[in-house]
Each structure stands twice: as C-alpha cells, then as structure tokens.
Copies of this chain bind each other. A is one copy, B any other.
Amino acid sequence: MAREAGRIKSMNSIPIQDERVEAALYEAVAMECEKVGVEKRTGFKILSSLLAESKRVQGGTSPIPRETPMQSFAKAVKLQSEGKKIIRLDVGEPDFRPPASVVNACIDALRNFKTHYTLTRGIPELVEALRNYLKSKWGFDGTEDEIIITTGGRFAVYSGLASVLSEGESAIVIDPNWPAYKQAIEFIGARPLTVRSTLEERWNPPLEDIKNSIRADTRAIVISYPNNPTGKVLDRETFRSIIEIANDYGLTIISDETYVDYAFKSCPTILNSDAEDFICIGSFSKTWAMTGFRVGYAISSKNTIDKMLSMASLMLTSAPEFVQYAAIAALGCDREARENCITMKERSEAVCDLLEKTPNIEVYRPNGAIYLFPRIKNTRIVAGEFAERLLSEKLVSVTPGIAFGAYPEHFRISLCKPKEVLFEGVERIGEALL
C-alpha cells in the first residue's frame, strides 16, 4: 500500500510527508486507544514506526542533515591545523578563565584524593550548596529530591527530555535555537514541532503558533532564554503566557537557563513561576567559564529527577568527584559571574554599534547571552553560503544560521573574544558583504 502511495505521489510530484495528515493520524490513534483501553504511548509508538517505514518504502530520504555548531568548529580547526590564522567567532565558549578559587578547589580535592565514585545525584555538599544558591538567588526552596548534578548541561537536556518524552510523542521547540534540543528529541524517537520566531517580531515567540502546533501526542515545550543564538530575553508577560499554555494543555516546560547569568536586563526564571510541571536546566559552563569541567544540573519534580537519576546511574555513575568540589567553589563566585556578564554586555553593545554601521546587515540588539545573530540584507549574496565563503576568503569563522533552524539568511557571531578581535572580525564580515 505504501509502495503504491509512493508511486502515485511521485508521479504527481506530491511530497511524501504531509504534516496535517500525520497530525490527524495521531488524533485518530489517540481516540482509538482511548476506546479500546490501550496505552496511548503504545499507539503513538507503533504509528510512528509505521510512518517511518512507510516513508522509507515510498523512497523518502532521511531529513536533510542540519549543520551543527560542532561542524563549523571542525572546519575552522582543520584550517588552523593547516597553519591558517583564523578569527574564531564560532565557538560558544567564554574566553575568560575559571575563577581562581574554582581551579584551586579542584586541585585541593585532587590532592585530598577526592577521586572516588559518588552518589549519582552528586555529593551532598554540592547538592546543599546548590539549594542554598538557588534559594538566595531566586527564592526557590527545593528539596534535595528535586535536584540532580549532571555531567554537563547536555546530559541534563538529554535525560530531561527522555524522562518526559516517549518514542512517537512530540515536543515543541521555538526556532532559532541550539540544535541539541531537536537532536535529543529525535534520538529519543520523538518529534520536534518547530515554532518559528523572527527578527521582525524581535524574536518574540508567536503564542498563537505555539497553541496551534500542540497535537494529541505533544508532551513538552522547550524554551531557552537568554537565547542561543539570538540573545533574546523574554519579558515577564510573554514568559507567563507560555507557562499558561503549558499548564492549560498539561505540557512540561523544559527551560534551559544556561545563559541566565548573561542577562543584560531582568530575566524571568521557571524556578519562580506558576509552571505546574517543569524541568529547569542549569550549567556551570558559561557563567564561570567552566566548559571543560563538564558539570551542570537540573531541577524538577522528584518523579522526573528519579527518572533522570536512573539514566545517569546507568550511563555515567556521577560527575568526577573533584569536579563537584570545583562546582561548590563556583557557586560562591558571584563577583566573577557579574564581571563576566558586564564584559559580554560591553562586547555585545560595541559589536552591535559597529554592525549597525555596516551596510547590508541587520542586527537585533540582544538583552543577554553571548552571541549576535545578524541577518544579511544584500540580495546579491547567497546567504546560505556566506559562512563558508567568509571562512575561506576572509579567514573569519562564524556559525551559519541553518544550524539553528530555517535561517539561511542569518549567521551567529560568538562574543567570546576580546573586543579588538571582534572588531577585526566584523570589519572583514563587512568587506565580505559588499
């Protein structure tokens, strides 16, 4: 049947996939499951297996591979290894050093042979320190049961999504965004439902589109503000509206707050919101320039954290013990966090000033994060190829917009370089745009 459908579609140049038909099928399966007393999850899973096999039989190819920030990274590294001097504005890794007290705490822990397995949740001292930190910072009074220390923010994202979503279900992701959310959702066998925000709308997520994209199998909304790549910070009203939608439809909000300490204006957090079901994801990587320590955390209900714990226990045991002592020290480094934020704000403003004077480019002045996401307005330039050409001709490495969604006319500049490097990079970008 699938083969015959494929033949007819191909003859009439009809695309193999039809979103509306699929949504209707999910609705039908949900109703049928309810009627006969079968778990909806099972129905969705079988439907999604059948749809995937049906697409394969119809000659459908796998979705177009997205370029990831890591791939731009690899290209730039290759040129560097060939001896080329590249201005690297691609990597989202602060160029600061970790606070001295963090490095010292890690060294002390090593010297004291804190080199053993720990509880999967994390050493009690770190869990306690994080509780106190979140309480004094946001007024959030969570119990130990609602916390897990993770081996990097990435593992919090993956295990959080895997705790909420099953195969055949779906989650809403607001574009543009860090590609890991969609990748994790797809890895689980679930489907990312994309809602598009635009520069014209100042990167405000369209609330009606969010509501309209919810289907029978939708379980979660992923949000991440300050946003990578746009630097958008939501105003309180929009934030509240998204939470209201999630509460109304019984969805879990997954709020990745990795960049929350790089907010140039007050930034709402899920931790003091009315969200009924949420996972808050945090990381030590950006705030304290600790990317290479690989440590993060998640806050959620005991039930969800228990599921995340069982995955972490199976796959990882725990973060390295001495790294957890470094993390305790970091939580005391308020001053460094503030200074890092001020530095990024200054860079962001200075580079925006420059970009606004650059012809053929348009940029949104961000309220946070460590990136800019300008748009190319020169219609003579094939925007999608711009990043590649910029790298080969001008030796400036940026991340192409398609890494973050359907944004071929955009590219991402990481602000993780000293101002003079950023200025030189922007000058070359300007030349490449003429």
Q: Which residues of A contact B (CB under 8 A)?
A: 37-39, 42, 45-46, 49-50, 52-53, 56-57, 70, 91, 93, 97-98, 103, 106-107, 110-111, 113-118, 120, 151-152, 154-155, 158-159, 167, 180, 183-184, 187, 289-294, 311, 313-323
Which chain B residues lie closer than 8 Å to A97 at the CB level? Answer: 113, 115
The answer to whether A93 and B107 touch across the interface, beta carbons within 8 angstroms, is no
- Known contacts A39-B53, A98-B115, A106-B110; is-contact A319 B294 (Cβ 8 Å): yes
User: How many angstroms between the C-alpha atoms of A53 and B116 in the bound complex?
Assistant: 41
Dominant secondary structure at the A interface: helix
This chain: copies in complex: 2
The answer to whether B294 and A317 touch across the interface, beta carbons within 8 angstroms, is yes
Least distance between A93 CB and chain B CB atoms (Å): 6
Give A68's nearest chain B residue, CB to CB: B313
Give A106's nearest chain B residue, CB to CB: B110
Q: Which of B46, B52, B116, B167 contacts A50 (CB 8 A)?
A: B46
User: How many angstroms between the C-alpha atoms of A189 and B106 in the bound complex?
Assistant: 38
The answer to whether B103 and A116 touch across the interface, beta carbons within 8 angstroms, is no
- Known contacts A49-B45, A57-B37; is-contact A91 B117 (Cβ 8 Å): yes
The answer to whether B187 and A311 touch across the interface, beta carbons within 8 angstroms, is yes
Which chain B residues lie closer than 8 Å to A56 at the CB level? Answer: 39
Most buried by B among A91, A110, A111, A291: A110
Which 3 pairs of residues, A with B, have the shortest CB-CB distance? A292-B321, A115-B292, A42-B53
Give A91's nearest chain B residue, CB to CB: B117
The answer to whether B320 and A158 touch across the interface, beta carbons within 8 angstroms, is no
The answer to whether A320 and B317 touch across the interface, beta carbons within 8 angstroms, is no
Which chain B residues lie closer than 8 Å to A290 at the CB level? Answer: 115
The answer to whether A315 and B154 touch across the interface, beta carbons within 8 angstroms, is yes
Q: Which of B39, B49, B57, B315 contacts A158 (CB 8 A)?
A: B315
A-B contact pairs, 8 of them (CB 8 A): A39-B53, A42-B50, A46-B50, A98-B113, A107-B110, A115-B290, A118-B292, A184-B315
17 new A-B contacts at CB < 8 Å, known A42-B52, A115-B289? A38-B53, A39-B56, A106-B110, A107-B110, A107-B111, A114-B292, A115-B290, A118-B292, A152-B316, A154-B314, A154-B317, A155-B316, A183-B314, A187-B314, A292-B320, A294-B318, A294-B319
Which chain B residues lie closer than 8 Å to A53 at the CB level? Answer: 38-39, 42
The answer to whether A294 and B316 touch across the interface, beta carbons within 8 angstroms, is yes
User: How many angstroms between the C-alpha atoms of A38 and B49 in the bound complex?
Assistant: 11
Which chain B residues lie closer than 8 Å to A152 at the CB level? Answer: 316-317
- Known contacts A113-B97, A152-B316, A294-B320; is-contact A49 B42 (Cβ 8 Å): yes
Which chain B residues lie closer than 8 Å to A116 at the CB level? Answer: 93, 291-292
Give A186's nearest chain B residue, CB to CB: B314
The answer to whether A292 and B322 touch across the interface, beta carbons within 8 angstroms, is yes
User: How many angstroms between the C-alpha atoms of A48 and B154 in the bound complex?
Assistant: 30
The answer to whether B293 and A115 touch across the interface, beta carbons within 8 angstroms, is yes
User: How many angstroms between the C-alpha atoms of A183 and B318 in the bound complex?
Assistant: 17
Least distance between A53 CB and chain B CB atoms (Å): 4
Which chain B residues lie closer than 8 Å to A113 at the CB level? Answer: 97-98, 103
Which chain B residues lie closer than 8 Å to A50 at the CB level? Answer: 42, 46
Most buried by B among A91, A93, A316: A316
The answer to whether B180 and A314 touch across the interface, beta carbons within 8 angstroms, is yes
The answer to whether B315 and A155 touch across the interface, beta carbons within 8 angstroms, is yes
Q: Which of B117, B158, B167, B311 contacts A93 (CB 8 A)?
A: B117
Least distance between A127 CB and chain B CB atoms (Å): 15
Which chain B residues lie closer than 8 Å to A180 at the CB level? Answer: 314
Which chain B residues lie closer than 8 Å to A111 at the CB level? Answer: 103, 107
Which chain B residues lie closer than 8 Å to A184 at the CB level? Answer: 314-315
The answer to whether B70 and A57 touch across the interface, beta carbons within 8 angstroms, is no
The answer to whether A57 and B38 touch across the interface, beta carbons within 8 angstroms, is yes
